[in-house]
Amino acid sequence: MAIIPRPFLFGWKAIETASDMDRLRLVFHVLPDERLVSKLELARGKGRDDYPVRPVWNALIAGIVFNHLSIASLRRELLRNGELRCLCGFDPFLGAEAVPTDDAFSRFLALLMEQDVEVVWMFHALVEELKKVLPDLGEKLAADSKAIASFGKPVKAEEKMSEDDRRRDVDANWGVKTYRGKRADGTAWEKVKSWFGYKLHVLVDSVYEMPLSFMVTKASEDDMTNLLPLVEDLKENHKEIADGAVEVAADKGYDSAENNASLYDEHGIIPVIDNRHLWKDEPGKPRPLNPDRPDVFLYNENGAICCQCPSERQGEDETRELAFVGFEKDRMTLKYRCPAAYYDFECKGRAECEKLSPIGVGDFGRVVRVPLETDRRIFTPIPRHTLRWEKEYDLRTSVERVNSRLDRVLGFELHTTRGIAKMKLRVTLALVVVLAMALGRIRVGQKEKMRSMVAPVERAA
């Protein structure tokens, strides 16, 4: 909390848990904002100080905690709520007159945007504090993007040079996202969403559902090209967390050979990324694994390896999936075994199949090693056709829950922000509050509620 050098503030030991203010006290208690506030005070200099920096800053944080969608809404609450004014640090003897005007808040926001580096520093400082109390933070990651519509109106190209309407947003642009799936009856569905505004790209811990790295871009920015920058940002600011990361889960919007290869080869992180089906010629039909020589092995676009039994080649649909027996890290290969040998059943073409092997075959049947370099988009250390991949991919829903909390609890479904600088500030402050609330709850013994932004704070036993 920004320290208020006045005797009328409540002390931490005197906190009562009977009101909703406890959530705000919890955030104030852990917020590493002294560096920022000191710089804001220094930037203000010796000018008029009708509305001191510290209480105004605290009021902005209160607006996020209590989901005020606009400065006007926050001001109305400050005008009526003496307890909130006192907790933020406004002079109680001034009463409602201590509440800053709309213009004063606007000037303060402009001053705050000049300190964007310090605001982002608070985010990273809180991540480091969380790492101290959650040693396994960041081992399993998930990435996704979130559409954030601008409150401003689009500006036509020919109007940009002359438009002086503050209701317009000259920074935002249009984004489109397509969702596809299958209904219970097997029929396909498709939903296309378009919005004018921005996009939040976020990397979260998929176990604790805490944001660890983020970027705000225009809505048209591609998801695929922003995954590696998120990981690199994590490594730059939190090397210990990045070095301990094992997996990152993401949807098919991030599917690319470059992402898969760079994540594993450069960062040691296993990609658990759904893939797009891009085979246009005979989609779904397996292709030869070794097209340069006669053999029985095929693979599909999900990376499953199967064999076409020589005795049954007349029926081309008769294939058997090979048994996956592990990833050989030193060889960068996926290892498979003959299904007949592994599952111990009779295969009429086994002898003929083994004659096709370029190396000797023992009692355990043919072994197939598939280098990841065969196709880095399709082959990954955890094959997509395995139960382990499905289990790890399910963790991706954690980032969707983080995005949902930003919408419903922190006000990004309905907001009054326009302009990319203000949007970056608004997003950063929201994520700072998320981390501060989690850290505060852990410190007061409520780790099970670390993801909640609305649950009451209970008195420690």
Contact between residue 68 and residue 77 where contact means Cβ atoms under 8 Å apart: yes
| Residues with Cβ within 8 Å of residue 29, at least 6 apart in sequence | 1, 12, 440, 443
Rounded Cα distance, 143 and 354, in Å: 43
Rounded Cα distance, 434 and 71, in Å: 20
CATH of domain 137-154+170-275+384-420: 3.30.420
Q: Supply angle C-alpha 454, 36, 238, rounded to 5.
A: 75
Rounded Cα distance, 176 and 196, in Å: 9
pLDDT in single tens digits along all 461 residues of the chain: 676 554 434 433 333 334 578 999 999 999 999 999 999 999 887 767 789 999 999 999 999 999 888 899 999 999 999 999 999 999 999 999 999 999 999 999 999 999 999 999 999 999 999 999 999 999 999 999 998 888 888 876 545 544 455 678 888 889 888 777 777 777 778 888 888 989 999 999 999 999 999 999 999 999 999 999 999 999 999 999 999 999 999 999 999 999 999 999 999 999 999 998 888 877 778 888 988 888 889 999 999 999 888 776 544 457 889 999 999 999 999 999 989 888 988 888 888 888 888 777 777 788 999 999 999 999 999 999 999 999 999 999 999 999 888 887 777 777 778 788 989 999 999 999 999 999 999 999 999 999 887 777 765 44
- What residue segments make up the domains of the chain, in order of their start? 12-121+421-449, 137-154+170-275+384-420, 287-380
Question: How many other CB atoms sit within 10 Å of the CB of residue 318?
Answer: 12
Rounded Cα distance, 408 and 270, in Å: 32
Rounded Cα distance, 227 and 214, in Å: 10
Rounded Cα distance, 388 and 154, in Å: 45
Rounded Cα distance, 201 and 424, in Å: 11
| Residues with Cβ within 8 Å of residue 295, at least 6 apart in sequence | 288, 289, 356
Q: How far is CA 233 from the centre of its chain?
A: 13
Task: Enter the pTM of the model.
Answer: 0.87
Q: Which token pair is 403?
A: 């995005």
Rounded Cα distance, 276 and 46, in Å: 59
Rounded Cα distance, 210 and 240, in Å: 16
Distant-in-sequence contacts of 38-42, Cβ < 8 A, 24+ apart: 39/115, 39/118, 40/111, 40/112, 40/115
Q: Which token pair is 105?
A: 């808040």
